[in-house]
Chains A and B, each alone.
Chain A
Amino acid sequence: DAKTTQPTSMDCAEGRAANLPCNHSTISGNEYVYWYRQIHSQGPQYIIHGLKNNETNEMASLIITEDRKSSTLILPHATLRDTAVYYCIVRVGSGFSGGYNKLIFGAGTRLAVHP
């Protein structure tokens, strides 16, 4: 399994873009990058995932470098409600039927959005 490295904490001003980096230099060719977040004591929330192309949905954008060794989750206009721990997870994803390896939620990045 590819290991991920994220900063322990980050700050962002409300209304500004929050850019959360993740390093996954040992990622394999069939592994996807998933992002989740957990607001204090709530259930984790799926945000987005991608393989190699940049992805965007209503919550965020995911930028994956061309060599796939790192990625950045972008919250374009952070709000106070985006304060949470953000997890970057690498897993063999969509379409793979070779069994299930559990999601591993590491320490993540604690994002604090301030007024």
Chain B
Amino acid sequence: DADVTQTPRNRITKTGKRIMLECSQTKGHDRMYWYRQDPGLGLRLIYYSFDVKDINKGEISDGYSVSRQAQAKFSLSLESAIPNQTALYFCATSGQLDPYEQYFGPGTRLTVT
């Protein structure tokens, strides 16, 4: 079984809808991250969390919110989806010792029409 799982893997939604992307991990890591990737571009950090009570904005947090329900779960919400949020979304985790050794999930492909 994969160490980092994301659900759903694919989602098509309409403008204005609320949508939640979920991430779970079995690596026992304290740190979790949400990224988005647009075609031909690099990954951009949306939010990151170093433990259940520590959540931080990344470089593109506007229009997104997160919830760290437990050490193993980190959810990303789009309160009112818009077409330019169409992207590939990745969740990642890392241990306390090294935040740059990150393990990524398989991604969620989100399309907002």
Using a CB–CB cutoff of 8 Å, the interface residues on chain A facing chain B are: 32, 34, 41-46, 49, 89, 91, 93-95, 100, 102-107
| Residue tally, chain B, CB below 8 Å to A | 24
Whole-angstrom CA separation of A100 from B57 in the bound complex: 12
Partner of B45, one of A43, A102, A107: A102
Q: A43 to chain B: which residues have CB within 8 Å? A: 4, 90, 92, 104-107
Beta-carbon contact of A95 and B48 below 8 Å: no
Nearest chain A CB to B109 CB, angstrom units = 8
Min C-beta distance of B106 to chain A, whole Å: 6
Bound form: Cα–Cα A102–B45 in Å: 7
Q: Which residues of B contact A (CB under 8 A)?
A: 4, 42-43, 45, 48, 50, 56, 58-59, 88, 90, 92, 97-107, 109
Nearest-neighbor residue (CB-CB) of B105 within chain A: A43
Q: How far is the CA of A34 from the CA of B101 in the complex (A)?
A: 8
- Residues in A neighbouring B105, C-beta threshold 8 A: 43
Q: Which of B58, B90, B92, B101 contacts A49 (CB 8 A)?
A: B101
Choose among A32, A45, A91, A107 the residue that contacts B42 (Cβ–Cβ < 8 A): A107
Residues of A within 8 A of B50 (CB): 100
Give B40's nearest chain A residue, CB to CB.
Answer: A107
Of the residues B42, B43, B106, contact of A42 by C-beta under 8 Å: B106
Provided the pairs A41-B107, A42-B107, A43-B105 are in contact, do residues A103 and B100 lie with their beta carbons within 8 angstroms?
Answer: yes
Closest A residue by C-beta to B6: A43
Q: What are 15 inter-chain pairs, A to B, with CB distance below 8 A?
A: A41-B88, A43-B92, A43-B107, A44-B43, A44-B90, A44-B102, A44-B104, A46-B103, A49-B100, A89-B100, A91-B100, A94-B97, A102-B48, A106-B42, A107-B42
CA distance A105 to B48 in the complex (A): 16
Question: Counting chain B CB atoms within 10 Å of each CB, which of A43, A45, A100, A104 scores highest?
Answer: A43
Instruction: Find chain B residues with CB under 8 A from A41 CB.
Output: 88, 107, 109
